[in-house]
Structure 1
Amino acid sequence: DYQQMYDRDKELKTPYRALPAPIDSPHLWEAKLPAGLPKGMLPIHVRTTDMFGQVYLATRGITLR
């Protein structure tokens, strides 16, 4: 669950910004990862567009075990 991932992430020394603390949220997203990805640290790239047409980009590392 997210709390466990948050706790593990606090111990990592990576170039990525720390995860925010877990909170109840009505706007979580999820996605299926492609099969055959290697284990280890991988980047996730996220792009979103707000209601005014402004595009936001972010990159976050995830660890596949």
Structure 2
Amino acid sequence: MFTRAAFQIPDMDRQRQVLNRVADLLDDGTLTSTLTTTLDGFTPENLARAHEMSETNRSVGKTVVTR
């Protein structure tokens, strides 16, 4: 998906179309996000916590650390 942006290929607009379609599918429930954990604040503590969660190999889904 990021090849277009990285290499500035002729059909750059296609990436916008694809991302908009994915957003629509997420909005209507056809696709579901794999996000399961959100850690609020880009702090050393939250980064350490996210890393710990990843190291356990028991974390299911995606973890996001917000700004």
- Between structure 1 and structure 2, the one with the greater Rg is 2
Structure with more contact order per residue of length (Cα contacts < 8 Å, sep ≥ 6): 2
- Structure with bigger strand share is 1
TM-score, normalization by structure 1: 0.27
TM-score, normalization by structure 2: 0.27
- Structure with bigger helix share is 2
